[in-house]
Amino acid sequence: MELLTPEEGELALSHARHVLHEHVAREPYTEPEFPPVFSQKRGVFVTLTKKGDLRGCIGFPHAVMPLRDAIREAACSAATGDPRFPPVTPKELPDISVEVTVLTEPELLTASPADRPRAVIVGKHGLIVRGYGRSGLLLPQVPVEWGWNVTEFLDHTCMKAGLPRGCWQEASVQLFTFEGQIFTEKSK
């Protein structure tokens, strides 16, 4: 995956921030000219926090649309479509911090179930677990923020999917790894 430059990362954050204000507060926003990387299809997640607490996180694990469009869709959905939270209000916007994580394409982890913990690197890999008709995803920064070891990371990804802890040890449950380039506003 072609990495974004620091300047492109700042543009991704600015784009997500402006889209957030446009969507929530109905503030007009004219998109700038984007560098070519923003026309490439990329997976991306937009995470919103308020005073350090999660306020919304939605995205696309697979490269299904150009990055600029994926950021727009993810920012709007994180603000008003995350079922875990009520919609962000215009009054909250000054207290919201934005994070954009640009993803590599998820790859099936081919290690045997017993070897999966040795194949996952905390702080580098994000995880997707898929099994029993359910799936769940945790970004690479999540286990670092919570201080989890690799087993806890695997267990929590299962729980995010609504599956029991330890189901990652079953051969019928698939694991995918991906990496993310993280751009974060200063916390408010």
**Average pLDDT by stretches of 10, the chain with 188 residues:** 90 97 96 96 97 95 97 98 96 96 96 96 97 96 96 97 96 96 83
Residue 142 Cα to chain centre, angstroms: 10
> Dihedral of CA 29/92/50/178: which sign?
negative
The predicted pLDDT at position 2 comes to: 79
The predicted pLDDT at position 161 comes to: 95
Is the Cβ–Cβ distance between 131 and 164 less than 8 Å? Answer: no
Is the Cβ–Cβ distance between 49 and 187 less than 8 Å? Answer: yes
Per-residue pLDDT tens over the stretch 163-181: 999 999 999 999 999 999 9
The predicted pLDDT at position 187 comes to: 61
Calpha distance 86→81 (Å, rounded): 8
The predicted pLDDT at position 140 comes to: 96
